[in-house]
Amino acid sequence: MFSSVLIANRGEIACRIARTAKRLGLRTVAVYSSADKDAPHVHACDEAHLIGPAPASESYLSIERILEVAKRTGADCIHPGYGFLSERSEFAQACADAGIVFVGPPPSAIQAMGLKDRAKALMEQAGVPVVPGFHGEMQDPKFLKSKAYEIGYPVLIKAVAGGGGKGMRRVDKHVEFDAALEGATREASRSFGDARVLIEKYVTAPRHVEIQVFADQYGNVIHLGERDCSLQRRHQKVIEEAPAPGMTREIRAAMGKAAVEAARAVGYVGAGTVEFIADGSTGLRPDGFWFMEMNTRLQVEHPVTEMITGIDLVAWQFRIASGEKLPLSQDDVKLDGHAVEARLYAEDPERNFLPAIGPLVALEFPAMDGVRIDAGVVAGGTVTPFYDPMLAKLIAHAPTRDKALDLLHTALTRTRIAGVRSNLAFLAALSVASEFRAGHFDTGFIDRHLAALGAVPQGIDAGAAAAGVTALLAQPAQQCDASPWDATDGFQLGGPREVALPVSVDGERLVAQISYGQDAEIRVEHTLAADDARAFLADGTAYVLRAGRQTVVRIADVAAMGAVDHAGGGAVMAPMHGRVLSVLVATGDVVHKGQRLAVIEAMKMEHTLTAPFDGTVGEIAVEADKQVQDGAVIMTIAPQELNEGKA
């Protein structure tokens, strides 16, 4: 076994790897960017070293800087976690050249599975079923469009490199292909340095089922069962579970055999995941699944496998990388109960799941039997725009699926996160959705049930707003002297006092009706009870949590109430902090409602801004490759009727 490890990652996975490494007696070395100098993973390790500024390209993706720290600290091995450099064959090779063990597969296996087109061709040769499509070298847009027509819509455009939904677009109509291809290739080039794509048939009612495989250096390969990752949005997994609903021993054996053969075909070593797409319209079948891709690393959702097998997969990674044989044979693998994982993200489901940044004013997780929390942030920290917006994972394990989902739901309802917006309420609703609980779901489930899951604008929660105003007014005033004229309790001799107070609730300007009683009690008039609301105060702001949903309340600046509203009159604003990738129109252009105006990148995802109505483009305030703040004016659109009026 090794004596030390450098963890080339951040967030919850770096903390999780450090826990196992320390249990095995390894000295742990963390690396961090300037944005992460106080991050939990820095404190979770025995020592930590700065490797560059906030952008990942200058820190966590710098092979040279990471290897320099590894050599300087005498690390025996490097664990890449997932994301960043974990699937870069050049990183694995650089580690080998430096005499440092890469805790993962050999570079040749990463290369073989790193490009989806070559991987599919290799799987066909190995007899593993693959999805029909075009996996060739030709990348001419007209040719690809013709292939899509031949395959038949709907189709998926997928980057040949990388994963995580980057460079992936579903296309339902021939006329939509060009724009989808442009977006996929641009995102693929920026994310993976490779703009090439493949085209494959989109499976109706698809289920995403993956097999955890493990292989040692002596030719032994086994699988540890499956995980169902069908609950997705934007091709990103949201809730994962094991075993997969509807799975039988026969289907598991067939899928597991295919996954093992896939690993053997590339000479795999270590932990890997073979992902399959299954036709969920008729239920899982031994002849109804197809190879999608292989992730040559640990998966985000690996805890559900750990919970039902009792195996520490990271410990196995270290042991296999150090030259040990697999601890178990296939017949020794036993599955116990059911596990389900929910990914807690800093994002706003009511605004199309836009990534969110900001302070973590409060973060509280419940301590419950059968519930595991893998977190990479703590209260008092800040969510920045530089990295993936996942905050934590909540994993529940119980004897049955229903009990595991009940346990997960309880854990979610007892979790508190304030400051930055999150998908907490959305996850809680998803965990009790009746069709999901009944096992009737596929990868399109979330998109079909957005309203029922609360992932559409909900309007202002009046009760939560009232609770926020009450909490703000109840704060002790900071006073410079003891003058009675500075009192803020609303006391007057003539009985209760009624006051109209301007407030801001989730950015909307409102007026709160305040009643000050003779006992100095503050009453805020509202029509909804808010006994279950809890307010967290920071910097003159109340972050009110109610049923997992956050309402942000501030006492408005009266002087600013009459100021000109720059966001009015047809302004198109940045929905989040990010970088402008492209501006698709020019001043004077006539645009139609829904037309694409600009593309912004935030937290590794693209967001297209569209025209709110028919009109003419006025001033454009940004240009490509520039950073913009949340709420910044991108451009103005003069409404069509206004233009007609001027004529």
Q: What is the pLDDT of residues 273-329, one digit of tens each?
A: 999 999 888 788 998 899 988 999 999 999 999 999 999 999 999 999 999 999 999
Placement of tokens 């060009």 in the chain: 178
Check residue 180 and report its DSSP letter: H
Rounded Cα gap, residues 20 and 30, in angstroms:
14
For 70, phi then psi, to 5°, come to -60, -45
**Which pLDDT score, from 0 to 100, does residue 568 have?**
42
Q: Which residues are catalytic?
A: 297
d(CA 291, CA 262): 9
**pLDDT given for residue 482 in this prediction:** 42
Using a CB cutoff of 8 Å and minimum separation of 24, what contacts does 636-641 make? 636/569, 636/570, 636/571, 636/572, 637/570, 637/571, 637/572, 637/591, 637/611, 637/612, 637/613, 638/570, 639/570, 639/613, 639/614, 639/615, 640/613, 640/614, 640/615, 640/616
Name which CATH class applies to 132-201: alpha beta
Task: Kindly calculate the radius of gyration of the chain based on its CA atoms and give it in whole angstroms.
Answer: 27
209-327 CATH fold: D-amino Acid Aminotransferase; Chain A, domain 1 (3.30.470)
Which pLDDT belongs to residue 495? 54
Q: Which residues contact 76 (CB under 8 A, 6 or more apart)?
A: 2, 3, 4, 5, 100, 101
Torsion, Cα of 455, 456, 457, 460 (10° steps): -50
Backbone CA torsion sign across 180, 181, 183, 187: positive
Dihedral angle, C-alpha 148, 151, 154, 157, nearest 10 °: -50
CATH class of the domain at 4-103 = alpha beta
108 neighbors 270 (Cβ within 8 angstroms): no
The bridge status of strand 206-215 relative to strand 270-279 is antiparallel
Extents of the domains making up the chain = 4-103, 132-201, 209-327, 337-458, 462-476+493-561, 571-646
Per-residue pLDDT at 644: 54
CATH number of 337-458: 3.30.470.20
Identical fold for domains 209-327 and 571-646, yes or no, is: no
571-646, what's its fold?
OB fold (Dihydrolipoamide Acetyltransferase, E2P) (2.40.50)
Residue 542 CA to chain centroid, in angstroms?
26
What pLDDT, on the 0 to 100 scale, is given for residue 437? Answer: 97
- Residue 523 is predicted with a pLDDT of 61
What percentage of the chain has pLDDT greater than the value 70?
90
Segments of 301-428 assigned E as strands: 338-345, 347-348, 354-355, 358-364, 371-375, 382-383, 390-398, 416-419
> Residues in the chain with pLDDT < 50?
478-488, 493, 527-529, 558-568, 645-647
Q: Please give the Cα distance from 371 to 354 (Å, whole number).
A: 28
pTM: 0.81
Whole-angstrom distance, CA of residue 462 vs CA of residue 420 = 20
pLDDT tens, residue by residue, 384-401? 989 999 999 999 999 999
